[in-house]
Structure 1
């Protein structure tokens, strides 16, 4: 292992960037003024010439430095330069058996940004980066990784075994956990770490070693805050499988294979169609029609949930416009919104733009929200989005009512217009007196609060009739129609209109491939 640089050289290496970088350029006017006061005009000219020369030298050095681009927040090197540095170390005489790589994620930055603002989060990242650098040797290097956090390129160690790297990882986690003082309070961040031992990367080169550390980091994050994991080949195989799943789902979205089916909603007073609910299905080229339970968890984990929501809205609004052109009266489409969807501060603006794109009034969209979403305390961003959508003119439905423990105060606070009575209350209501009493109580509450009602999961004509007799305003379920693809929905609507003209509602149909309703 090469002997460490003498203290004077290490000090010069640390101070040189200060005097040749942007920090010195910012201080140059003050230095010129001080020179003038102390030594007059000759001193002012000397300081100015010296300062400009140092800045020019710094810029020239930066332009010659390989991979000179740096992270705009921390000033750290970026991924490409970290890989190049690893390549250089691994190709050296000591590197292959002694060089290691860490990948570190900072936990809690999203909450910090939401509470104190993005500037506070950037300040915290800077402070933690400085602490991590202080916990390392001067020859080690920090890099900023997109989405993940930070990487540590470890200069060859005297002993690079598992015990030594675990000690380093523990030191880094302790440094990241130290409180960060902010203008409005104190931030407490956490960290997870993955690392790759020398010689354990799945392929030669710095890129493969860094990817291995990131695979270990993903395993650490799955284990919980503060976890440390060393890379194992099984992690790479799991990561490769996950990447393939992500690629397949992204391609399916782009190809339009994942699209909505529509389940009709009828008025119990008139029998007329009052709307449809958009329910996601994947038309898999080999496996046929897949329900959300078969692919939605993987899609969310792949970070494609927002892309899916946009696609479902686009196709739903396209369907409304097509039905309008065909002279088919479908008053509105109900689309499910998750807490993550509703947490976006610009959601109402985006929805307004999407509706305007299809020349649709906001009243044509029903925003469906699970009761568990409004039962969760303290999410003001969700409340603001719901209020903004209601002000826009969208209808707000509370889905699965009775299962999420929402308070009565939340019904008014979140501008709910209609509650959807969960299937667990509707099943067998025509024969079970306790369920009749429960639904009657829910309907009475809704009436007092001025809320409309819809019974979902109506599987038999008896359940349909019982809900109508109790005063439920709308019904939805297989007794009416299963979820239908666009073409079949168009045909069903025309047939239903003919049946209404003959004052009949028709018989229940056999369930589709997905069985009961699944959002």
Structure 2
């Protein structure tokens, strides 16, 4: 390897440090185009010794810079002391192979002298290529995401987003470009209907969205056009930017809505259920800026249970579906229709008219719901009772304040409609609420009274027609109220029925009647016969026979000691199928069956043939004034003759005068009961009364086996 004479600068001691440095560097004399100094690092790069490089033409190691235009560029740079430029050029190794290097040229204070610092451009290029490949891969991966991806810089300018992001924000797509700020994109979307949830409150919505965007982490849901929904997840990056995902949750929302609708919908009729009705009313209350006039109609289907009992549940379902169709057909699209119970519906009329219109509407509903329908060749007859409550502005006396729900008031009005005879409607009045509270309080007191055994029975004797012989007793309930004193059944039985406490009262009457009968027998009265009135609810209970038998067993009595009274109106009740079965079971078990208030019902004669009746009790209304009313005397005499012809015992109740007794005896009546002979009295007083009569020898107690049957 030939050595060249060293340039003068190579002998300068201040460059010794550079010569020994591992940095890949040269000192170039631009005027001559030769290398003055080569560092140890550059020698290692090229594979040449310093002695070979120093003094040699630059073109031997950097062919593009050492001659021609390249050399002229070096001379231009060196002419401006302190100037700095970077360029890429080939560097030849000792084996002749080229490598691309990035060369930074710095002009020395000495004219024509350049410092050249080299860095492998091949490695830089590879790094750039690797970075570009990684970036391309990242962008490909981002574009492949099923969710929208977006990145904003620290100044909230868009850096990058994937195609899915633009697809989700189609109305804003033209504004979603690199460099656009988040707020600019939002404002563009607001103008073009991108955010339906912002309609009418754009400024507030924008402020809320920007505030959420500035948080360190954000998770919100956002509605888009077409009822599409996104979940937005955003997080601040270490450099102050924001990275976010937009996840399409429309299917989840749809499923949630379907589940919510299923939870709010009655599966049989497709109407709202009670939960759905409550939710709709809450929405109306929350959304309105002023009180909206609502009319709530609480509808109960009359005689529905008889359809279920006699024709089966399929027929009952058909009636409910038919009722739902009627209600839909009779209401407007804005109105709300719901099924809130087995046979109960609610119609809420929005922007309701005056009471007269609502009354006409209710009358029309009752008429339509009362029309018979056919099911499997059979006719189903039902009716309807309606309670109406009005909420909202208006002068009507029954209208409540805007914040009050009328559902409870409509239910109260419905109870009044049903108590008034059914097949009718009643509009709620404020006084009804007070009455309902009083009834609720009374129901509570009844329950407490039952727990404390405040209820007692009084016994009213029954006689043969002469009044000389006691043939039995009727058990009549009394309540020793701790504050109101002694109360008769008219003062609490209706409340007990409404509160579904009548079964408990019936059980208490049976227990007390059996206890009283045992006491009478223990006092030497013989085998007493005590009449007990059974309610409709009690008679519809299939466990009735077992329950009565249990009370008899506890008292050591036989069925012959009890007469079971059934109101004639009970036989016309919807639960008649169960009543008929129970009455026959009781009769077969040895109990005497008495038809109470005979002659006041609609099918008295038919009931004598339908039921195993042992005795009928003619109502007081057919006895009072018998000695003064010829027409009444004819009716009563005909009933007595009919029963005598059928071999049925007759007892006339409410006999007040000797004239009434005498006429009944003349007409062939065999038994009487009333204040003309004796009124009701507590069991202890009755025992004393009976003892007094026996001492005077007026009568003896008739034994059940000898009593007419």
1:433 and 1:220 map into 2 onto residues whose CA distance is 37
Q: Which residue of 2 aligns with 1:491?
A: 688
The alignment status of 1:162 with 2:353, answered yes or no, reads yes
Query: Are positions 1:320 and 2:514 aligned together?
Result: no
Instruction: Look up the SS of the partner of 1:98 in the other structure.
Output: coil
Aligned-partner Cα distance in 2 for 1:168–1:356: 57
Mapped partners of 2:667, 2:421: distance in 1: 50
The 8 Å contact of residues 391 and 405 in structure 2, kept in 1 or not, is answered as: no
1:488 and 1:294 map into 2 onto residues whose CA distance is 23
**Does the C-alpha gap of structure 1 residues 238 and 291 become closer, same or farther in structure 2, counting only changes over 3 Å?**
closer
In the TM superposition, residue 248 of structure 1 has moved relative to its aligned partner by 4.5
- TM-score, length-normalised on structure 2? 0.49
Q: Say if 1:59 and 1:248 are closer, same or farther in 2 by CA, change over 3 A.
A: farther
Contact 1:372 1:406 in 2 (8 A): no
Per-residue deviation at 1:363? 1.8
In 1, the alpha carbon distance for the partners of 2:629 and 2:478 equals 33
Give yes or no for contact 1:194–1:218 (8 Å, CA) kept in 2: no
| Correspondence for 1:183 | 376
Which residue, out of 361, 385, 390, partners 1:196?
Answer: 390
The structure carrying a bigger strand percent of its residues is 2
How many angstroms does 1:334 deviate by? 0.5
| 1:189-338 correspondence to structure 2 within 5 Å | 190-191=383-384, 192=386, 194-198=388-392, 202=400, 205=403, 208-218=405-415, 225=423, 227=425, 229=427, 233-266=430-463, 273-296=470-493, 305-324=502-521, 329-337=526-534
The 5 Å alignment of 1:22-41 reads none
Question: Conserved in 2, the CA contact under 8 Å of 1:85 and 1:153?
Answer: no
Distance 1:182 1:117, change over 3 A: same
- Say whether 1:104 aligns with 2:298: yes
8 Å contact kept, 1:180–1:186: yes
CA contact (8 A) 1:401 1:421 kept: yes
What is aligned with 2:5?
none
Cα deviation, 1:350-375, whole Å, max 9, x if unaligned, reads: 54455445453222211234567779
Deviation at 1:81, TM superposition (A): 4.9
Tell me, in whole angstroms, the C-alpha distance in 2 between the residues paired with 1:277 and 1:178: 43
CA RMSD of aligned residues (A): 5.6
Gap change, CA 1:143 and 1:355, over 3 Å in 2: farther
CA–CA distance in structure 2, aligned partners of residues 138 and 290 of structure 1: 52
Q: Shift in Å at residue 395 of structure 1?
A: 0.9
C-alpha deviations, 1:223-246, integer Å up to 9, x for none? 9646474x5544544544444454
Assess if the C-alpha contact under 8 Å between 2:391 and 2:402 holds in 1: no
Q: How far is 1:105 from its partner? A: 0.7
User: Residue 182 of structure 1: CA displacement?
Assistant: 2.2
* 1:370 to 1:112, Cα distance in 2 relative to 1, 3 A: closer
Compute the displacement of 1:480 (Å).
4.8
Instruction: Give, in angstroms, the shift of residue 390 of structure 1.
Output: 1.5
The yes-or-no answer on 1:387 pairing with 2:584 is yes
- For the pair 1:89 / 2:299, whether they are aligned, the reply is no
Query: Greater CA radius of gyration, 1 or 2?
Result: 2
Tell me what 1:415 maps to.
612
2:557 maps to: 360
Deviations 1:140-179 (A, max 9, x none): 654433477223467xx6xx25269849957993875777
More helix by share: 1
Paired position in structure 1 for 2:346 = 151
Distance (whole Å) between structure 2 residues aligned to residue 469 and residue 196 of structure 1: 59
Unmatched tracts of structure 1, length 5 or more: 11-55, 507-519
1:276 deviates by 1.2
Partner of 2:318: 123
- Secondary structure at the aligned position of 1:119 is classed as helix
TM-fit CA distance, 1:299? 5.1
CA distance in 1, matches of 2:359, 2:469: 69
SS in 2 for 1:91: helix
Taking the aligned partners of 1:319 and 1:275, their CA distance within structure 2 comes to: 12
Taking structure 1 as reference, are residues 224 and 467 closer, same or farther at Cα in structure 2, changes over 3 Å only?
Answer: closer
Whether the aligned pair in 2 keeps the contact of 1:276 and 1:330 (CA below 8 Å) is no
Number of matched pairs: 450
Q: How far apart in 1 are the matches of 2:284 and 2:619?
A: 62
Cα deviations across residues 495-516 of structure 1 (Å, max 9, x unaligned)?
A: 445x2xx63459xxxxxxxxxx
> C-alpha displacement at 1:335, in angstroms?
1.5
